[in-house]
Structure 1
Amino acid sequence: MDLLVNLYSRKLEELRQRAEGVEAVIRTALPPEQHIIKDWVRTHFSEYWVSEVSAAMGHQPPGCLIATVDGALVGFACWDATARGFFGPTGVSEDQRGKGIGVALFYHALAAMKAHGYAYAIIGSAGPVDFYAKAAGAMPIPSDNEDIYQGLLRLKPKAEG
């Protein structure tokens, strides 16, 4: 299910306040870090997300934010990766979940999108729908089970022999 977030909603101020106390450093990724970020995303998430990181890093400035704790990469969030106006993918390492890092990445990505002129953000194939609804007032976009990922190429297992 795709979701729509109004970047002018008062909910974003609440989200900003929740993001303030996070101990991770949230910043825009730098192009020379791209290989490190992609290797980390490949290890913790998926090759599909690596492709989206590549697309987000191709913008100037990059549409990829990272979260670090003591200089170590612990999370990332992309925007304008699969399509313009899209938020995601985003992820936090398992050992750092529950510390507000995902909230902070979400807020900073939405703030960056707003600063670049977007009035709305689309969360494509949103995973935790309830989280996005509560955090930013995200609303479902009506569809007939059709979205941008329809027909996405999938790797098939290699045949033995």
Structure 2
Amino acid sequence: MTARAGMRGLKKQRRIQVIALAAAALVLATGMIGYAMRDGINYYRAPSEVVADPPAPTELFRIGGMVEDGSLIRGAGETVTFSVTDYGASVEVSYTGILPDLFAEGQGMVGLGRWQDGHFEAQQILAKHDESYMPKEVTESLKAQGYDPARDGGAAKE
């Protein structure tokens, strides 16, 4: 009986070790997934939000709205500056690179970048891909300011 009782104790101990090892592996995997995703989450901010509460220079975020008419300035090489608005506030954007073909004044855009010295430095610029599409966040922020992109040409609140 002593050998049998010793065998049961050994099985019980082995089961506890396996459960503890599985729990440790689960915690490690969860931690690794969270660490890997930390740079993959970019929060959207409307120009009004950026002006009201400027983000830290280290925060990577998306900004979107309409490119203001008459604000597009092409600099040396591939550098451009323009203003993006949600009709509540405007933010100056600078970008070095090739703009998408559908990028134009008076059209919707989304940029990915950082807030630096009072303006948005974009790393990436996206433009709407056809006449009817605009990202949900941009549409919501424009509607909050009284502009309805669904109407023909929309209209800003006076």
Is the structural similarity TM-score above 0.5? no
Name the structure with the higher helix share.
1
Higher strand fraction: Structure 1 or Structure 2?
Answer: 2
Task: Give the TM-score of the pair, scaled to structure 1.
Answer: 0.28
Q: Relative contact order (alpha carbons < 8 A, sep ≥ 6): 1 or 2 greater?
A: 1
TM-score of the pair, normalised by structure 2: 0.28
